[in-house]
Structure 1
Amino acid sequence: MAETGGAISGSDGGVQSLERAFLLLELMAEDGGEVALSRLAVDSGLPLSTIHRLVRTLVARGYVRQLPSRRYVLGPRLIHLGESSSRTLGTWARPHLSDLVDSTGETANLAMLDGDRVVYVAQVPSKHSMRMFTEVGRRVHLHCTGVGKALLSQLPVSTARELLERGGMPRRTDKTITDPDELLALLPQIAAQGYVLDDGEQEIGVRCVAVPVPGGPAQTAISVSGPEGRVPMESVPAIVALLQRTAAGLAAELREDGARALSGRSS
């Protein structure tokens, strides 16, 4: 460890206490409910005394809340941060989504993982009179949507299983996969090919092509969706190429923006 202005820095040059605090927040989010300090100690590998000190600070700042049971949950201040982050991400993504609509003629979406659901944070609709529409802010299941399956494919199998079991896998159409083992078996192939289809699994007659955004600031995915008559299977390879190019461009822009922000703060 190295000393940086009186603070201990981690192996990658970050501040160790911040890294640990964010780790605890992420573990609490993954747990999906109330969590005890002893569980955080097991999951994080950190000493209980360290966890107690960090959690006490997070509680004082409103990022964590202590329940009467003396267990802990994520606090209300994170809601504001999450909403601001989603709005910013949507603003960044909209020009990229507009280019997708111009190229494909169909609706383009940006979504991100939100607990055991996926939430749509930006959309540019098709110019066709009959088009797909999903309200920004809508949370949907992971198992029956293109963006949801794209996000699941980026997770460890154990985490993906936990999210599917926690969120449930209701049948939306006769094509919906409702068996977690069946879907989990498909995830390595989805990850390897870099895209996934929702072929009438969420809504009859609708085809959606989705890809993950590589190395984004959060677990995010983009998609193009439209009536299956306007999105035939033979058009999928071309749409995938456009989506992957857009995802790479969006990820690069977000990384550059983050680097500029950090540079500005340190100057």
Structure 2
Amino acid sequence: MDRILSVAYSELTRVLPWSLRALGYKFGTADRGAHLAATAAAIDPAVLDVIAAASPRPERGPTIQRSCEGLLIESSGVSLLETGPVAVDYLAGQADASVPLTCKIVGGTETALLPAIVAGAQAYGLGCLAIVAGGTWHFGYRDQEGSVLVAGDDAGDLAGLLGGGPGSHSAAQSRHDAAGDVRLMVGREMELASVPEGAVRPAQLVRQAQRRGIAVSQATLDAIYGLEMLTWAPTSERSRSQAGFTVTASPQP
């Protein structure tokens, strides 16, 4: 059984930018994505397993189409750590529109980051709903005590939670989406009269992670540090040799 360790929250925000750079993400995206991933790991430590196993960023970036209803992002395999926060920023900037705008993200990866993406909208004082077609949903808002995050995997539970209020239309639309597609909605007056059972408070979980660390397996932590080393690895064979980076020849059959 793999050894379980505890990694400091601050260490994650230090190492993850370089790990994400090794996967091909630009520095600004990697830096913001590192804090996003650390927040997501504070909510659910299993997110670190997802990050450690993430594929390199495709060379072809996402394409964005705007319409009267909002955004359509064709991710082409680009992680939600890049497209998710950008979508929330855009929707937050349009939150005063008479009809709340939505964003549909097609072909995105690392949907495990959605809880942190949803929580990010609360920095604007706004509510946020994220629905993965055929999968989970996440709803976040602020009350007098701070941020609240609710999640589930039953469409009926979500419909009952929203009660015909903001987000109901997005929930209905998501039923026609392909499995794995993500719908995001950000707006005002997206809150609940009472905190549902099972809800968590992301800000409290982050503070707890900052005090106590985050549980992670040895293998996952090694993989994250391994990615960081790729970012810093010398590019020439001579420099690699001088720095102690050695390449072992594959055994001959």
TMscore range, shorter length: under 0.3
For normalisation by structure 1, the TM-score amounts to 0.26
For normalisation by structure 2, the TM-score amounts to 0.27
